[in-house]
Amino acid sequence: MTVRVRTSLRWLSSGNHTATDHRGPARRRVRHGWLDCETLEGRVVLSGFGGGLGGGGSGYNALLQDLNELGVITSPVVPASMSAAGGQSTQLAQLQKDEQTLQTEFQTLSANSGVTVKDLTQLETDAAALGTAWFGVSGSSLQKALSDLAAAATGSTTVTTASAQSEFTGLFPSADATAAGAVFTDLNQVVTDSAVGATGLSTVASDQAVVKSDVSNLNGSGGNGWFGLGGTSALTSPVSGIGGFAGSSVLYALNNLGVIASPVVASQGGTGDGSSSTSSSSGSTEQSAAITQLRTDEQALQAELQTLSSGSGVTVGDLTHLEIDAQTLGTAWRAVSASALQQALGDLAAAATGSTTVSATQAQTEFTGLFPTSDQSAATTVYNDIVQIVKDSGVTSSALTTVAADETAIKTDLTNLRSGNTGSSSSGSGSTSSTTTTTGSTTGTGSTSAGSIHDRAGARRETRLLHRRGWR
């Protein structure tokens, strides 16, 4: 999750400050991230990377940012602290009050949003197909097209679906009309599943207009003019309370199990860290074979996760409830070890998918046992939220087994690379049979040659990728 500091209301209550919009070109988003974010007085502003839209990845993020601002919530929005600063002006107090009203509306829409991981996976995949065509789309034009699209999808009598589609696809070159049409269809599905409705869109727009009016009043009455160059976007976007680390930890662990709660899409080539996936032909043949095996097994795992992502029915509403309920456990999370949580979630997922060895009662006792007795009620609520997520994800016991086997194969590959053993890895769905053994020369101290520096660099690239997944 990328965090950038934005202006806080408390800080704005004194001094002359000029806020500027620092949004710029985006990098490829992390495959397991749900949304990027920005901080605002102890809160998180749900956003993409606006500004110049850049390539497919940042185009997707821009779509989510603009949809969220309209009230089409694609990522959880949970309560955030809106404490007032002492000695503030009447105008600033009014701004904070009206912003709270807006954020409450966003939170209600978030709890009811039925946007699924499947919806967002399809949208991200299709948005990536437009590639560099996103470079030619201005932020304001995209916002206008999405606003009209949302209006048409919620029954507007002034904007038809046909006119909204022509407006959106017209943002891209004619050669990309088919790809743009696919993205339009995906967006319509997202709006429909969000359950925002025409009333929700109207309420959000009205609340945002009030906030902007408050800002104008501040600027016109000695408010220091600190909202220059689009700075009001931080106050009219959905924000979410910081402290969702517990919920994020749960979702990370679930994703690794195969319970996909955030989009997983095909990478855009290479190894994932910007380096080439082609091994050097020089040096140890055995080392190169081991690296190839690791890549084969990692690709098999990614293909399985992508398949699960494209069918996951986990909703924004599911994740919103989990985030809110997980926060009620507060500091109790600090005493929970990552390994114990992973084991408990593994057993929970097994029980929820019909395991004959782990019952629902056993799984619940194991999970709630991670927390103090005084927190059992809250822990049970979180347990029920997670069970709902597992069920909505559509994952089966067979899929859980496949993912676990693929991950075991990768761990074996990594062990072989570190030890210099290039023997076979056969437990994963994508592994190949390799019977080669290490033939590098050894020294008197028993060390083994790992081949050329290029091969060792390739191995380090691969282990860095798996380190990011928490497998080292």
CB 24 within 8 A of CB 47: no
Main-chain dihedrals φ then ψ at residue 47, nearest 5 degrees: -160, 165
Q: Residue 38: helix, strand or coil by DSSP?
A: strand
- Bridge partners, residue 42, by sequence: none
State how far the Cα of 319 lies from the Cα of 392, in Å rounded to an integer. 11
Query: What CA–CA distance (Å, rounded) separates 175 from 332?
Result: 55
Q: What 3-state class would DSSP assign to 448?
A: strand
189 vs 10: CA distance, rounded Å: 39
How would you classify the pairing of strands 43-47 and 36-39?
Answer: antiparallel
- CB burial class (10 A; 0-12, 13-18, 19+) of residue 48? buried
What is the tens place of the pLDDT at every residue in 137-174?
999 999 999 999 999 999 999 999 999 999 999 999 99
Longest dimension (CA), the chain: 83
Q: How far is CA 433 from the centre of its chain?
A: 35
Token digits for 299? 């690709």
Query: What is the reported pLDDT for 288?
Result: 83
Q: What is the DSSP letter of 30?
A: P
Q: Are 184 and 168 in contact (CB under 8 A)?
A: yes
Question: What is the token pair recorded at 130?
Answer: 């437009």
Residue given tokens 């029954």 in the structure block: 155
Spatial CA neighbour of 338 closest among 418, 250, 447: 250
What was the pLDDT predicted at 416? 87
Q: Looking at residue 429, what is its pLDDT?
A: 64
| Structure token digits, residue 393 | 């994800």
Sorting pLDDT into bands at 50, 70 and 90, what band is 382?
very high
Nearest CA-CA partner of 159 in 169, 149, 170: 149
Q: For residue 110, give the 3-state DSSP assignment.
A: helix
Q: Quickly tell me which residue has 């932020």 as its tokens.
A: 139
Strand partners, 240: 44
Residue in 113, 269, 285, 253 with CA at minimum distance from that of residue 191: 113
Q: CA–CA separation, 118 vs 314, rounded Å?
A: 8
pLDDT, averaged across the chain: 77
- Residue 16 — very low, low, confident or very high, per pLDDT cuts 50/70/90? very low
Q: What is the dihedral of CA 332, 333, 338, 343, to 10 degrees?
A: 70
Q: Are strands 239-241 and 43-47 parallel, antiparallel or unpaired?
A: antiparallel
Query: What is the DSSP secondary structure assignment for residue 41, as one 8-state letter?
Result: S
Cβ distance 438 to 448 under 8 Å? yes
Give the residue, 426 or 265, on which the prediction is more confident. Answer: 265
pLDDT of residue 54 exceeding 60, the answer is no
Which of 286, 321, 318 lies closest to 434, judged by CA?
Answer: 286
Confidence of residue 25 (pLDDT cuts 50, 70, 90): very low
Residues across the chain: 472
Exposed / middle / buried, residue 409 (Cβ in 10 Å: 0-12, 13-18, 19+): buried
What separation in angstroms does the CA of 269 have from each of 2, 265, 277, 421?
22, 12, 8, 28
User: Which token pair is 176?
Assistant: 């990309």
- Give the pLDDT confidence of 419-431 residue by residue, as tens digits: 876 555 555 665 5
Pick the closest to residue 450 from 286, 281, 251 (CA basis).
Answer: 286
Query: What pLDDT, in 10s, does the model give residues 185-242?
Result: 999 999 999 999 999 999 999 999 999 998 888 876 554 444 443 445 667 787 665 4
Gyration radius of the chain's alpha carbons: 25
Amino acid letter, 64: L
pLDDT of the residue at 423: 53
pLDDT at 83 over 90: no
- Please name which of 215, 227, 222 lies closest in space to residue 20, comparing C-alpha atoms: 227
Residue 355: what residue type? S
In angstroms, the CA 233 to CA 245 distance is: 25
Amino acid letter, 422: T
Residue in this structure with the two tokens 């390539």, named with its chain if needed = 55
Q: How far is CA 265 from CA 259, 404, 423, in A?
A: 15, 19, 31
Percent of the chain with pLDDT over 70: 66
Label residue 13 by pLDDT band (50, 70, 90).
Answer: very low
The confidence score (pLDDT) of residue 37 equals 35
Whole-structure pTM value: 0.77
Element (H, E) at 350: helix 338-352
Which of 264, 371, 268 lies closest to 307, judged by CA?
264
Q: Compute the half-sphere exposure of residue 361: CA atoms within 13 Å on the CB side of its CA.
A: 0
Q: Which one-letter amino acid corresponds to residue 334?
A: R
Model confidence at 308, pLDDT cuts 50, 70, 90, reads very high
Query: What is the spatial distance between Cα 108 and Cα 112, in angstroms, rounded to a whole number?
Result: 6
pLDDT band at 90 (very low <50, low <70, confident <90, very high): confident
pLDDT tens column, 175-190: 999 999 999 999 999 9
Interval 361-378: pLDDT, tens:
999 999 999 999 999 999
Supply the pLDDT for residue 87.
54
Q: SS3 of 240, please?
A: strand
For range 285-305, the mean pLDDT: 89
